[in-house]
Amino acid sequence: MYYFTSDVHLGAGDETFSRRTEQRFVKWLDKVAEDADAIFLVGDIFDFWFEYGRVIPKGFVRVLGKLAELTDRGVKIYFFIGNHDMWCRDYLEKECGVKTFFKPQHMTLAGKEVFIAHGDNMNVGNQPMLRLMNTCFRSRILRKLFSWCVHPDLALKFGQWWSGKSRKSHLKDHITPSSLEFLIDYARDYKRQNATTDYVVFGHMHYPYDHTEDDLRVLFLGCWEGEKATYAVMDDEGNIALKTF
């Protein structure tokens, strides 16, 4: 079995809300690890993460410990950076055994061809300001300058404020299936160039949705902000579906 989830946003909200989210996520990891061939964390697992050479954000002890425990047991866990946790380095891989991907990946799972991506910074050619912001945030030079010039306490305080502002602005948006069309278009283009693709899996939009057309399915994983978290599961025969936890 293969499990996919995204947009947990650990650290979001007040201390009580954040701890409750972390505890729910740990319970989900325990549950799916019972029969998982692999677990895919498809971005924005953390509401903000900036990793210095020797410093990581305070908190998330239960999740980090659980990830290390599961990989020590032989469970494969793959982490895809999102727009809230793009500033990862090698901590999760070295300390927790989690394979980290900094770009979308095309994988063969249970005999199916699957393209996996968080979904940010895709098909945004008509949004110049967003493209500029993404370029700045992904710049290695600017990231190094930020880490050298800004004390971690100030960096994390700023990052948490910025992430919270970004997340709250998206919550005000009324997301509908039509809001997902720009990523569905991206999936169609990808399918045209990679004809064997069976499934495309996205996070990012905080809206669970299963789109099917012809020989392509596009799944949006939803998020963990409500009472029910959404995720996807693929069985050993290659059947995939959205579930709630």
* More reliable by pLDDT, 57 or 187: 187
> What is the DSSP code string of the chain?
-EEEE----BT-SSHHHHHHHHHHHHHHHHHHTTT-SEEEEES-SBS--B--SS---S--HHHHHHHHHHHHTT-EEEEE--SSSTB--SHHHHHH--EEESS-EEEEETTEEEEEE--TTSS-TT-HHHHHHHHHHT-HHHHHHHHHHS-HHHHHHHHHHHHHHHHHHHHHS---GGGGHHHHHHHHHHHHHSTT--EEEE-SSS-EEEEEETTEEEEEE--SSSSS-EEEEE-TTS-EEEEE-
Per-residue confidence (pLDDT) for residue 120, from 0 to 100 = 87
> Structure pTM?
0.89
Give the model's pLDDT for residue 72: 96
pLDDT at 84 > cutoff 60: yes
**Range with the lowest mean pLDDT among 20-34, 44-58, 127-141, 211-225?**
127-141
